[in-house]
A and B are shown apart, each in its own frame.
Chain A
Amino acid sequence: MPPRRDAEFIVSDGSEPEDDDLDEDYVASRAARARKGKGKGKELAGDSRKAQDQSYAWEASYKRSWDTVQEDEAGSLQAAVQDLVARSKRRRLLGGDAPIRRTIIRHMMLLMDLSTAMLDRDMRPSRFDLTLSYAREFVGEWFDQNPLGQMGVVGMRNGVGERIGEMSGNPQEVLKCFADKTKLEPAGEPSLQNSIEMARASMSHLPTHSSREILILFGSLTTVDPGNIHDTVDACLRDQIRISIVSLSAEMKICRDMCERTGGVFGVALNEGHYKDLLFELVPPPAEKSSASHLAAKAAANESELMQMGFPTRLPSTAPPSLCVCHSRLRSEGYICPRCNSKVCDVPTDCDICGLMIVSSPHLARSYHHLFPAPAYKAIVELDGSEAPTCHGCSQPFPTAARDRNLVPEEGMSPFGRYRCPKCKHDFDAECDMFVHDVLHVCPGCG
């Protein structure tokens, strides 16, 4: 599941000075304290001091979320909290569902900054540890959503690019790269150019039907390059490599340029939660670059780029053990390549013997959901009395009355918690809506 922005963690935009008077917030903050149950005790002690002063520097990063919360008649905050959570959840779902040409066979090089800048502790526990753990989650999620994809890992430290993991379609192998933390100890300065060149070289042989992407997790604000990095960017542009960067500190001109020119995404993480959000936004395959000339040329040549795939025979665990071609280990389970009959341990992969791409049909089907996504549900704003009383997904009853609150109605939020599929006209609640779009990718009502 994609991560959610922690409600308490949203950074204030800092546009208006917080001239809050603590006496008014007294009740609310006490309630919030009870809810959060962690160190805000000083607020109370310091109220007289605070009243004339502005908020403390160390508090500046946190929105006083309790100020935006209102109690209902019974004095409970639960509804308000649920509302906030639902809001932040909905925010991500509001993407369009127009048919977009996407690449489902993806190749990605993950470039990790391993420079000393990663030792900074402005993200807990440290940029490096956080990046490692998020990278693990990311790899899992990525392969889950893109079963046909392949990923490699390059580290940037001491001014060179280090190949940490070869391009592989097996999530386990990629995850192995992150297993040994001591091997990845940050040192020196990063070199964007060297690392991108290395990533580029390892993707240069790929066929045209696959996407080539570079994802850079960048903590440093400098890069030590042997040559002109702009040439490298030009080369990437020629090779149709898409570069996306998640920066942990601030916007660098070259990074933004690089992303904009190659059609990637550039983001700067505000905090831990936002970092994860930015990272996981890169999980779904990107829309294919609508370079009209490129597509037109293809259409003219009537070249629909067929590719060969094999659907293997799965051996049950009761099958007689035999050696696999990938690890040369004696195992009973495995898959038989339909072309050369060799046995591999895991799919999807390229057959080591004949080079055929071996996929299982569920994998292929899973990859398809990006191309034919479940339609975005519409929020029901007004009832006309003919609705189903329960959620079509989980059969939980819907609330009958609109939540009576003077909160600003946000786009895509239903006051009744009802979200309707535009095709099958069934109503779903917020939870099911999330589940359908994030996990299932198929509308149960339509199916």
Chain B
Amino acid sequence: MKFNIDGLPIVFPYDRIYPEQYSYMCDLKRTLDAQGHGVLEMPSGTGKTVSLLSLIVSYQRHSPHPRKLIYCSRTVPEIEKALSELQRLMKYRISQAETPEERAKEEGFMGLGLTSRKNLCLHPEVSKEKKGKVVDARCRDLTNSAVCERGRADPGSVPLCDWHEKLGEKEPGNLIPPGIYTLAEVLQYGRDEGVCPYFTIRRMMPFVDVIIYSFHYLLDPKVAEQVSKEFSKDSIVVFDEAHNIDNVCLESLSIDLTRPMLDSAARSVVKLTEKIEEIKETDASKLQDEYAKLVEGLQETNNDGPDEDAFITNPVLPDDLLKEAVPGNIRKAEHFVAFLKRLVEYLKTRMRVLHVVAETPLSFLQHLKDITYIERRPLRFCAERLQSLVRTLELSKLDEHSALQKVASFATLVATYEKGFLLILEPFETETATVPNPIFHFTCLDPSLAIKPVFERFSSVVITSGTISPLDMYPKMLQFTPVIQESYPMTLTRNCFLPLVITRGSDQVAVSSRFEVRNDPAVVRNFGSILIEYSKIVPDGIVAFFPSYLYMESIVAAWNDMGILNEVWKNKLIFVETPDANETSIALENYRRACNNGRGAVMLSVARGKVSEGIDFDHNYGRAVIMFGVPYQYTQSRILRARLEYLRDAYRIRESEFLAFDAMRTAAQCVGRVLRGKTDWGLMVFADKRYARADKRAKLPRWMNQYITETASNLSTDMAIVLSKLFMRQISQNPNENQTGSRTRGRGTNASR
């Protein structure tokens, strides 16, 4: 299908288009034309990705200076999905091309996805490693420039990676024929040609039209510096599934240190010292060279090595990087190691404190100076200096030094930033614990810090997701001015989901997860009866979300005592999410199986957990989702409190406002798991009396809100059951005939299935 938006010819790979897709594309185009930023919310499963790609590719094709598209998604499966959607689009575009030149042009279009070495490695031994970090380190051992040079000069002296070597034989910029490749296809290509898929992608990145990778490659300064620095200013950046983007930003600038990590760092320091001694005896000139270089300035050393050398890059954002020479007192390798040793010892002593400490970076530095005479300036160069030292010493097995790397990053960050950060030392894990297990949090409180360079560098940044209401919160938190800020309703030929708010049990006792009443037997029982009733009337899978692990544990224990679980067992199997990823994935697998063979299952999981974020419960895997309580964050957490305080002081966002926003976006995210397309259907049950309040509901995404009727917003359990039964009978009537929804089969999120 071809059509025009304001003179821009669009090629859309399907015969029909939903109205919301059209207006989404119009708004997107306006954003791009204005060279500004945008926040767009469109429900998942309505073909958001395809509209986005189809518009942007058309835009690239139409403009004389194509702007590169940087598409960021959250998980590997999502990246893969976006890639196959792009592939489909390009296939369609090629088939629609009118002249041979156009056709050739379309065929020359390149799109690649990037993921970690662990997912892309072909080396027989390295790829067997389980931890991503170990794979990275071993890969670097085999591929860094020093090793390569030595290996090439004297074959056989050092092990090299054949796949990486093969790549060198190819013409740079033409490592892979043009086209769109999914990650699996790049892997296959690598296998066939005997080249390394990871470096193929990395080296092709300047030449492609579309690159799809995860948030971190753009937001985390440690990685972004290596991967994303070559992109030109007019690139179009899209963050998909961006409802948690503020948390990603915070994480990328926060560091937690623990006692074992410090111990390991201390060991690394000792090893470094030994190595330096050894080098001094064998090859003293090397250290001398390094010293000379450092005197001239560190920047040049940074630039000449190829990118894959970087063991640790500066964790600081590029704008804050100091462009000057490393201070004298850490230029000499021995001095630097001694400096590190002092720092680690200092941190260790800090950890011995048995009460909670919260301080600003400034006061920390002051204290550090008083005790150890470490100044702020050398501290700022810690990470870079360590990087240079590691390169000089040609260390291998770098993963062993990851703790030291963390400490160095910590030192650099703490000395660079004064505002928006806080140091919190928590000696005990929980309130009641008696054995100290200290954690030193260096937390970033301001999400706008990490994303600021992105907004500054790129002219168009689009933030989009199925659930990013209320929209005005994001510009406020991330400190940018959007050109377009829009939420789209969902066009449905049938009501394929039914949101219900249960405020009280059948006995008219209000249900709520408020702290004061959450363990009240009446509330627990009423929550239980909601689960029992729904397990009776909902076919196949039900997903139930709790606000926290702690609450889930206590309530499930109470249900067991009350015999509620036994009742549920009669109708469905019960699976529970645990913090352990392996256990959870086994539980999920069995849950799916139970949903497929008709036994039916209930998945008890936690809002903000793994299940609530990355797992789709489409079709029979989730016919109903029950949200027990409002998923507020744990407000006693010191980090959260510090963050709230900061938001209040810096951006005038009230604590309650932020908490409610955060809770509702999590709730929307959880219940949104159940609906992944227009053929899908499901119930969304909000079980808490607080959901009845209009101010809470107003924070839900518009497409969800528009279907919450007055009648359905204040129900007791029995009334909700009646409505649900009715809904399910109606929705079960012949879903596939004459429904516009049926068109979505094999498209959008379903396409890759």
Contact = CB atoms under 8 A, between A and B. Distances in A.
Interface stretch (A138-146, A218-226, A298-306, A399-407): A218-226
A253 B709 contact: no
A249 B598 CA distance: 14
Given A17-B709, A249-B729, A229 B538 contact: no
Nearest to B716: A57
Contacts of B735: 251
Contacts of B538: 221, 250
A37 B598 CA distance: 44
B599 A221 contact: no
A81 to B, nearest CB: 25
Nearest to A116: B570
Most buried by B among A14, A53, A221: A221
A244 interface: no
Interface in B581-609: 595-600
A7 to B, nearest CB: 18
Contacts of B539: 221, 249-253
Contact of B732 (A58, A228, A247): A247
Interface residues on A, range: 35 or more
Contact of B722 (A17, A58, A230): A58
Interface in B681-695: none
Interface string A189-225: 1001000000000000000000000000000011111
A61 to B, nearest CB: 6
A354 to B, nearest CB: 44
Given A117-B536, A122-B725, A221-B538, A253 B595 contact: yes
B662 interface: no
A192 B725 contact: no
Contact of B729 (A117, A192, A253, A269): A269
Contacts of B595: 253
Interface residues of B, number: 36
B550 interface: no
A382 interface: no
Contacts of A357: none
Interface SS majority for chain A: loop
A410 interface: no
B594 to A, nearest CB: 9
B590 to A, nearest CB: 14
A247 B539 CA distance: 11
Nearest to B719: A57
Contact of B730 (A11, A224, A252): A11
Nearest to A269: B729
Nearest to B572: A222
A386 interface: no
A313 interface: no
B733 interface: yes
Contacts of A53: 710
B200 interface: no
A254 B597 contact: yes
B4 interface: no
A57 B539 CA distance: 22
A251 B598 contact: no
Contacts of B725: 122, 249-250
B494 A15 contact: yes
Interface string B727-740: 11111110100000
Given A14-B495, A222-B598, A253-B595, A270 B723 contact: no
Interface string A47-64: 000000111011011000
A283 B719 CA distance: 37
B620 interface: yes
Contacts of B727: 14
Contact of A224 (B599, B722, B733): B599
A53 B709 CA distance: 11
B730 A192 contact: no
A268 B732 contact: yes
A58 B716 CA distance: 13
Given A17-B709, A251-B539, A252-B540, A223 B729 contact: no
Contacts of B732: 247, 250-251, 268
Considering the complex of A and B, which 8 residue pairs feature the smallest CB-CB distances, nearest first? A253-B620, A254-B598, A251-B732, A268-B732, A250-B728, A252-B539, A223-B598, A222-B600
Interface of A: 11, 13-15, 17, 53-55, 57-58, 60-61, 117, 122, 189, 192, 221-225, 228-230, 247, 249-255, 267-270
29 contacts: A13-B494, A14-B726, A15-B494, A15-B495, A55-B711, A57-B711, A57-B715, A57-B723, A61-B726, A122-B725, A221-B536, A221-B538, A222-B572, A222-B598, A228-B597, A249-B729, A250-B725, A250-B728, A250-B729, A251-B539, A252-B539, A252-B540, A253-B539, A253-B620, A254-B596, A254-B598, A268-B732, A268-B733, A269-B729
Given A221-B537, A229-B598, 17 more contacts: A13-B494, A13-B730, A14-B726, A15-B494, A54-B710, A61-B726, A192-B598, A221-B538, A223-B598, A223-B599, A228-B597, A250-B537, A251-B539, A251-B735, A253-B539, A253-B595, A253-B620
Interface of B: 494-495, 536-540, 570-572, 595-600, 619-620, 623, 709-711, 715, 719, 722-723, 725-733, 735
